[in-house]
Amino acid sequence: MSPPNPFAHPVSAIPVYIATVPRLATKALLAQVTRIKISHDLSHLKRFRATATVDDELDMLLCPVDALNKHDLEQLISFPVREEFVPRDPAYVDSQYLAASLLWPLKNPPRIVEIKDIQYIKHYIQKLSVTCKTTLIVDPKSQELISSSIDSRDEHPLHHSIMNAISAVAETERIRRGGNHNQPFKPGNNYLCSGLDVFTTFEPCVMCSMALVHSRISRLFYLRSQAEGGIESAYYIHGRRELNHKFMSFRWVGGI
């Protein structure tokens, strides 16, 4: 049985502790509550929410209720604490964002493709081969092609085009380092494909989808879905709650 689509499920909520605090006290309180160890990532939520009546006070999101005893928390911050529900997960589509925002403010609306990106995306979509499985990895900021690979499973069963393209990025990084594996990555780029876009002919399989997660890509664009694919067709690996990275995925439906 395939897992549920995270882009279609309703908003789920998690209980947290909230306190109404003076604006002038927020900096000191932040220093205290950020030291609390929490079991669930709430980084998609804003820390503060405006109150309905008092301008010089804010509602402050403190921590999930399983992180600390309520009495101990009140002793720590010296303010009364109450329990509320906030969105458990980031919003992936507009409908989720609107529903989640009714519970608590989110940091960012869903990431979408901007109009100015369409020509860039179409340019690389048109470079994909429709006769063989092809993958392109591109830097969206410079629109520079980083690597290009085709499927070569006739040589090795793991040589899918996506795996080959990621390997090509790794080889480029190895050359840049001059063979020195202790040399750090470029500043701000701690993973092979962090911030990069991937264009590929077919929806990735499960193995390739997980490779894209581990490489920390930004967006995936592909031409054709396939049965038991790792994205929209079966497993939705790009948006799974239990994985530590998510990326946006789009199937191109325009002409090429």
- CATH code: domain of residue 85: 3.30.70
Q: Return d(Cα 95, Cα 109) in angstroms, integer.
A: 10
Q: Is there a contact between 67 and 38 (Cβ–Cβ < 8 Å)? A: yes
Residue 187 pLDDT level (bands cut at 50, 70, 90): very low
Q: Indicate whether 229 pLDDT > 60.
A: yes
Domain membership of residue 108 (yes or no) is no
Residue 79 neighbours by CB under 8 Å, 6+ apart:
19, 20, 21, 29
64 with 119, same domain: the answer is no
Residue 123 pLDDT level (bands cut at 50, 70, 90): very high
pLDDT of residue 255: 74
Domain membership of residue 106 (yes or no) is no
The alpha carbon of residue 176 and the mean position of all alpha carbons in its chain are separated, in whole angstroms, by 27
pLDDT of residue 108: 77
161 with 234, same domain: the answer is yes
Please give the residue range of the domain that contains residue 203.
115-251
Q: Which of 49, 79, 101 is the last residue of a domain?
A: 101
153 with 212, same domain: the answer is yes
3-state secondary structure of 79: coil
Domain membership of residue 129 (yes or no) is yes
19 with 142, same domain: the answer is no
Report the pLDDT averaged over residues 211-234: 92
Report the pLDDT averaged over residues 73-77: 94
Report the pLDDT averaged over residues 232-247: 87
236 with 154, same domain: the answer is yes
243 with 125, same domain: the answer is yes
pLDDT of residue 190: 60
Domain membership of residue 206 (yes or no) is yes
Q: Which of 52, 77, 101 is the last residue of a domain?
A: 101
Q: Indicate whether 2 pLDDT > 60.
A: no
Domain membership of residue 109 (yes or no) is no
82 with 131, same domain: the answer is no
Q: Indicate whether 119 pLDDT > 60.
A: yes
Q: What is the pTM of this model?
A: 0.65
125 with 246, same domain: the answer is yes
* Range of 91-105, 186-200, 212-226 with top mean pLDDT: 212-226
Q: Indicate whether 256 pLDDT > 80.
A: no
Q: Indicate whether 5 pLDDT > 80.
A: no
Domain membership of residue 21 (yes or no) is yes
Which amino acid type is present at position 87?
P
201 with 148, same domain: the answer is yes
Q: Which of 101, 131, 162 is the last residue of a domain?
A: 101
pLDDT of residue 136: 98
- CATH code: domain of residue 227: 3.40.140.10
233 with 130, same domain: the answer is yes
Q: What is the mean pLDDT of the chain?
A: 88
C-alpha closest to that of 157 among 200, 221, 205, 193: 205
Domain membership of residue 73 (yes or no) is yes
168 with 205, same domain: the answer is yes
Report the pLDDT averaged over residues 109-117: 74
Number of domains in the chain: 2
pLDDT of residue 196: 94
pLDDT of residue 76: 93
Q: Indicate whether 59 pLDDT > 60.
A: yes
Widest Cα–Cα separation across the chain: 69
Residue 173 pLDDT level (bands cut at 50, 70, 90): confident
**How many residues belong to the chain?**
256
Domain membership of residue 2 (yes or no) is no
